[in-house]
C-alpha cells in the first residue's frame, strides 16, 4: 500500500511539474481531422489492450535460448518461428534469403611473449546462476567481423581509446605505432575506428579490451552480483568500414541475391587488412602490466590496479586470426498487411533479430516488442479493420556484422521503396528508462505527438513529458554540453521533443542515408543496466530480466510507442509530415558552419604565432622527445550566399506548407499530396553522394567519417571544413543549396495541391 501511495503521489507531482494531464483532450493530430483523430485514438486504445508483457517475456525466453549469430542454426530457427507467428497473426509473410560474405574465426590466438608469458583463452566461461551462459555451444569465441587475417609478432603499445586525439598525444610523446601491435580500450568512439586508425598509422595488429573503468567494476558491481562487465566479459562487434558503406562487402550498392555478381575479396573496400581481437580485462591485464616505456598520460589510465605504461619497445605479443571467408545465408522475415485506401504507400517498421551470442537485450528486446505490435495489429485486422496505407514489418538478419539484412533488402528493392515507402521506423535494443530518438526533421512533430499519449510506467506521466523533464535536469548540470543546454531550453519553451540527428549504427541507415526515406530510430534507456554485457555471451535472458527491464514494462511501452507511429503514419488523411523543424534545423546548422570556419581560422593563426615564437619547444618536457604540431592551412573566406538563399526560401515554403496542411486535411486531397510528400526526403539526397563514399547520398545528415555512428549535419560542407579542403567546401555549399531548393520546390507543389 505504501509503495502504491508513493507511486501515485510521485505521478501526480510529476504531472503537475510537467504541466500537462496524462490523457489530453483530443485535438486534431498531425495529418488527421478532428473526427478522424477520435477514430484513431479509439484504435490505439484497442491496440494497447492487445499487448501482453507475459507474451513478450515468453518470446524472449524462446528466441534467446541459444546463440543466434548469422549462420547459426538458432538464427534460422528464430526466422522460421517469426515467420510462423506473423502468418498465425494474419499477415502475408515470407522469408527473403541473401548470401553474404561473413567471416567467422577458424583459428585464433593471443599471447604475451617475454619473461612472464601469458596465453589468452578468448572465451567467456559460464557465470554462476546464469544458465544460458553455460550453453554456448554453437556460439563463437572472441572475434570481430571484417578484421583481416594475420599471424604477427611485434612490440606492444598502448594507445588509450585509439581515437585521433590519442595519436596526436602519442606523437607528442615521441612514439609511433609503426610495425607494432596496438592495445586500445573500448569507448570514446566507434569500435571500427580503432583498428582503422591503427592500420592507417602503420600498426600490424589491434587488440581491443574492456577497461573496468568504463563498464566493469569501476562503473558498478560486476555480474552476477550486479549488472556490470565481469573479469571474463568481452565485447564482440563489427569493424567493417561502415562510414564508407554498410552491407555485404562483395555486392556494393546492389542486393546480394542469387546470381548477382560478386567483386573479388581483394577489391572489397570495407574490410580491414590487420588482425583484430577483443579481450576481457582479465585477459588484457597481463599485457598491460608488462608494458614499459613512459607512464601513460593521466587521461589514459583505467581502473586496473596497475600503473599504466605506454610501452612501444621491449614487450612483444603474438596475434593469430584466420577466418572462414565464405558466404553465409541471411534470413530477413518480411510481413505485409495491405492498405485499404493507399496500398502503394508503405509504412515500413523494422528491428534486427541476429545477436552476437544470445542477444537478449541487443537486439531481441526490440524484436519481441515489434512482434507484439504485429500480434495486436493482427487481432485488429481480424475484426475487419484495415490500415489505410500498407504496413511492412521486417525482422532483419545480419545487422550486427554490418547492417547486412536491411541493406541488402533495401538495395534489392530500392526502386520500389523509393516509389512507395513513406516512412521507416526502427528500434534496436531496449531498456527500462527514458525515451530518446533520432529522426528525420519532417517526422519530429509526429514523434512529439505520438509520444505524448504513451504513459511511462514508473512515473505516470507521458514518456514525452518524462523525457522533457530529464532534458531540463541534464541541462542544469555543471558539466552539461552545449547540445544538452540547447535541448533543455527547447524542453522548457515547449517546442517539439528534442531528438538527435540520424547517423548510423542500426538498420535505418540504408533507408534514410542511401534511399532518402524519412526515418525514426528510438528506444528507452538509462536505467536498465545492459552496457556491461553489451555484445557479450552474458547478454542473456537471465541478465535481461534481472537488470534491463524487470517485468517487461518497457517492452510494452516500446510496442505502444512504435505502434502509434506505425498506425498514425498508415492511417492519417494526409501523410503526417511537418517541415518547420527542417527549415529551422538547417538554418541553425548553416550558422554553426560559419562559426566553425571562424574558430578554425583563429586556431590556425594562433598556433602559427606560437610556432614562430617556438612556444611548444619552451613549454614541453625536454626529456621526452616530443615535437611541435604541424601548421594548419588558414581558412579563406567561404561564400555561404547560396546556402543562405536556399535556407530563406525553405523557411518560407515550409511554413506555407505546414499552414496548408493544418487546415482540416481530407483523405482525397491527402492522397494527391501524398504523391509529392512520399518522395520529399529524397530531394535532400544527391545521386553522387559524399566524397569517397557515394553510397551515402543524404546531404543533410550522415555518419561522420571519423565518428562512425555519430551524425554530422550538412556533412558535405562540414567535413570539408574540418578537413580544411576549401574548394570541396565551396562545391558542397552549392550542392547542399541545390537539394534545399529542390525540397522547397516540391513543398510548394504540395502546398498548391492542398490549397487548390
Ligand atoms: Zn543491435
Q: How far is the CA of 76 from the centre of ligand 1 (A)?
A: 17
Residue 621 has pLDDT above 90, yes or no: no
Q: Look at the pTM and tell me if it is higher than 0.85.
A: yes
Q: How far is the CA of 523 from the centre of ligand 1 (A)?
A: 11
What is the grid cell recorded at 228?
Answer: 556490470
pLDDT of 361 over the 70 cut: yes
Q: Where in the chain is the domain with CATH 1.20.930.40?
A: 580-755
Give the model's confidence band at 525: pLDDT under 50 very low, under 70 low, under 90 confident, else very high. Answer: very high
Selection from 465, 444, 446 nearest residue 456 by Cα: 465
- The answer to whether residues 228 and 220 touch, using CB atoms and an 8 Å cutoff, is yes
Look at residue 672 and tell me whether its pLDDT is greater than 90.
no
- The C-alpha atoms of residue 460 and residue 18 are separated, in whole angstroms, by 11
Residue showing cell 535460448: 65
Alpha carbon of 360 to ligand 1 centroid (Å): 10
d(CA 463, CA 552): 16
What pLDDT sits at residue 705?
86
Distance CA 724, CA 635 (A): 7
Cβ count within 10 A of residue 18: 19
- The rounded Å distance from CA 437 to ligand 1 centre is 15
Measure 525 CA to ligand 1 centroid, in angstroms.
14
Ligand 1 center–CA 686 separation, angstroms: 28
pLDDT average, residue stretch 201-227? 97
Residue range 3-35, pLDDT digits in tens: 323 322 333 333 333 444 444 445 899 999 999
Whether residue 171 has pLDDT greater than 80: yes
Distance CA 181, CA 165 (A): 19
Q: In the chain, list all ranges with CATH 3.40.630.10.
A: 2-99+330-571
Identify the CATH class of 104-324.
alpha beta
The three cell numbers locating residue 676 = 509529392
Report the alpha-carbon distance of residue 496 to residue 589 in Å, rounded: 18
Q: How far is the CA of 430 from the centre of ligand 1 (A)?
A: 9
Mean pLDDT within 129-133: 97
| Mean per-residue pLDDT, 629-658 | 94
- pLDDT over 80 (residue 203): yes
Q: How many CB atoms lie within 10 A of CB 5?
A: 9
pLDDT at position 626: 66
How many A from CA of 654 to the centre of ligand 1? 35
Q: Long-range contacts for 14-17 (Cβ within 8 Å, ≥24 apart)?
A: 14/459, 14/460, 14/461, 14/465, 14/466, 14/469, 15/460, 15/461, 15/465, 17/469
Measure 555 CA to ligand 1 centroid, in angstroms: 15
Q: Residue 296 above 90 pLDDT? A: yes
Q: How far apart are CA 483 and CA 498, in angstroms?
A: 10
Tell which wins on pLDDT, 173 or 621: 173
622 Cα–ligand 1 center, Å: 48
CA of 535 to the centre of ligand 1 (A): 9
Whether residue 194 is predicted with pLDDT greater than 70 in this model: the reply is: yes
Distance 227 CA to ligand 1 centre (A): 19
| pLDDT, position 664 | 61
Q: What is the mean pLDDT of residues 348-354?
A: 98
Residue range(s) of every CATH 3.50.30.30 domain in the chain: 104-324
Q: Which CATH code fits 2-99+330-571?
A: 3.40.630.10
Superfamily of domain 580-755: Transferrin receptor-like, dimerisation domain (1.20.930.40)
Angle between helical axes of 463-476 and 2-18 (0-180°, round to 10)? 70
> What element of type H or E holds 139?
none
Amino acid at each position: 500500500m505504501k509503495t502504491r501511495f508513493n507511486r501515485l503521489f510521485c505521478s501526480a507531482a510529476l504531472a503537475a511539474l510537467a504541466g500537462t494531464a496524462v490523457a489530453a483532450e483530443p485535438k486534431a493530430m498531425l495529418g488527421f481531422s478532428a473526427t478522424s483523430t477520435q477514430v484513431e485514438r479509439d484504435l490505439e486504445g484497442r491496440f494497447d489492450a492487445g499487448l501482453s508483457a507475459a507474451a513478450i517475456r515468453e518470446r524472449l525466453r524462446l528466441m534467446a535460448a541459444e546463440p543466434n549469430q548469422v549462420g547459426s542454426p538458432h538464427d534460422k530457427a528464430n526466422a522460421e518461428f517469426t515467420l510462423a507467428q506473423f502468418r498465425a497473426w494474419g499477415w502475408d509473410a515470407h522469408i527473403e534469403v541473401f548470401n553474404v560474405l561473413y567471416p567467422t574465426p577458424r583459428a585464433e590466438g593471443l599471447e604475451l611473449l617475454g619473461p612472464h608469458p601469458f596465453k589468452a583463452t578468448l572465451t567467456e566461461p559460464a557465470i554462476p546462476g546464469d544458465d544460458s551462459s553455460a550453453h554456448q555451444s554453437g556460439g563463437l569465441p572472441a572475434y570481430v567481423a571484417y578484421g583481416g587475417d594475420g599471424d604477427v609478432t611485434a612490440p606492444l603499445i598502448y594507445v588509450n581509446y585509439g581515437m585521433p586525439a590519442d595519436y596526436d598525444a602519442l606523437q607528442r610523446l615521441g612514439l609511433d605505432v609503426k610495425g607494432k601491435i596496438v592495445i586500445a580500450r573500448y569507448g570514446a568512439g566507434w569500435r571500427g575506428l580503432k583498428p582503422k586508425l591503427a592500420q592507417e598509422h602503420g600498426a600490424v595488429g589491434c587488440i581491443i579490451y574492456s577497461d573496468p573503468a568504463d563498464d566493469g567494476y569501476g562503473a558498478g558491481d560486476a555480474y552476477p552480483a550486479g549488472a556490470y562487465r565481469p573479469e571474463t566479459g568481452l565485447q564482440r562487434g563489427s569493424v567493417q568500414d561502415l562510414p564508407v558503406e554498410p552491407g555485404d562487402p562483395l555486392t556494393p550498392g546492389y542486393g546480394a541475391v542469387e546470381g548477382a555478381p560478386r567483386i573479388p575479396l581483394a577489391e572489397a573496400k570495407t574490410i580491414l587488412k590487420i588482425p583484430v581481437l577483443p579481450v576481457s580485462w582479465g585477459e588484457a591485464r597481463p599485457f598491460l602490466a608488462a608494458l614499459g616505456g613512459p607512464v601513460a598520460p593521466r587521461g589514459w589510465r583505467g581502473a586496473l590496479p596497475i600503473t599504466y605504461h605506454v610501452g612501444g619497445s621491449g614487450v612483444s605479443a603474438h596475434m593469430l586470426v584466420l577466418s572462414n571467408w565464405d558466404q553465409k545465408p541471411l534470413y530477413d522475415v518480411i510481413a505485409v498487411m495491405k492498405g485499404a485506401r493507399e496500398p502503394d504507400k508503405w509504412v515500413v517498421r523494422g528491428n534486427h533479430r541476429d545477436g552476437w551470442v544470445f542477444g537478449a537485450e541487443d537486439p531481441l528486446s526490440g524484436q519481441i516488442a515489434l512482434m507484439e505490435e504485429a500480434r495486436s495489429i493482427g487481432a485488429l485486422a481480424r475484426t475487419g479493420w484495415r490500415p489505410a496505407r500498407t504496413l511492412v514489418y521486417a525482422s532483419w538478419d545480419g545487422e550486427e556484422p554490418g547492417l547486412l539484412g536491411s541493406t541488402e533488402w533495401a538495395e534489392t528493392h530500392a526502386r520500389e521503396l523509393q516509389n512507395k515507402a513513406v516512412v521507416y521506423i526502427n528500434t534496436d535494443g531496449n531498456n527500462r528508462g527514458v525515451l530518446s530518438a533520432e529522426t528525420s526533421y519532417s517526422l519530429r512533430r509526429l514523434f512529439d505527438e505520438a509520444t505524448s499519449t504513451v504513459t511511462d510506467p514508473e512515473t505516470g506521466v507521458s514518456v514525452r513529458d518524462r523525457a522533457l523533464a530529464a532534458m531540463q535536469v541534464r541541462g542544469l548540470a555543471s558539466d552539461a554540453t552545449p547540445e544538452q543546454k540547447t535541448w533543455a531550453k527547447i524542453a522548457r519553451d515547449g517546442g517539439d521533443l528534442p531528438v538527435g540527428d540520424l547517423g548510423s549504427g542500426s538498420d535505418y541507415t540504408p533507408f534514410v542515408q542511401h534511399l532518402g526515406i524519412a526515418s525514426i530510430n528510438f528506444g528507452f534507456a538509462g536505467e536498465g543496466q545492459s552496457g556491461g554485457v553489451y555484445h557479450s555471451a552474458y547478454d542473456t535472458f537471465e541478465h535481461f530480466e534481472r537488470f534491463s527491464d524487470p517485468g517487461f514494462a518497457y517492452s510494452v511501452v516500446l510496442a505502444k510507442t512504435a505502434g502509434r507511429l506505425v498506425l498514425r503514419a498508415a492511417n492519417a488523411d494526409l501523410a503526417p509530415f511537418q517541415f518547420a523543424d527542417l527549415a529551422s534545423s538547417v538554418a541553425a546548422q548553416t550558422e554553426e558552419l560559419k562559426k566553425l570556419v571562424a574558430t578554425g581560422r583563429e586556431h590556425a593563426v594562433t598556433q602559427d604565432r606560437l610556432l614562430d615564437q617556438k612556444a611548444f619547444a619552451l613549454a614541453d618536457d625536454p626529456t621526452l622527445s616530443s615535437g611541435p604540431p604541424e601548421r594548419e592551412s588558414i581558412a579563406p573566406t567561404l561564400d555561404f550566399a547560396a546556402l543562405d538563399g536556399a535556407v530563406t526560401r525553405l523557411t518560407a515554403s515550409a511554413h506555407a506548407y505546414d499552414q496548408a496542411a493544418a487546415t482540416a486535411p481530407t483523405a482525397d486531397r491527402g492522397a494527391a499530396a501524398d504523391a509529392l510528400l512520399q518522395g520529399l526526403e529524397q530531394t535532400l539526397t544527391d545521386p553522387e553522394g559524399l566524397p569517397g563514399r557515394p553510397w551515402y547520398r543524404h546531404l543533410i545528415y550522415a555518419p561522420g567519417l571519423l565518428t562512425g555512428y555519430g551524425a554530422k549535419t550538412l556533412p558535405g560542407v562540414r567535413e570539408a571544413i574540418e578537413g580544411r579542403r576549401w574548394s570541396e567546401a565551396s562545391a558542397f555549399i552549392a550542392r547542399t543549396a541545390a537539394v534545399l531548393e529542390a525540397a522547397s520546390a516540391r513543398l510548394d507543389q504540395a502546398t498548391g495541391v492542398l490549397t487548390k
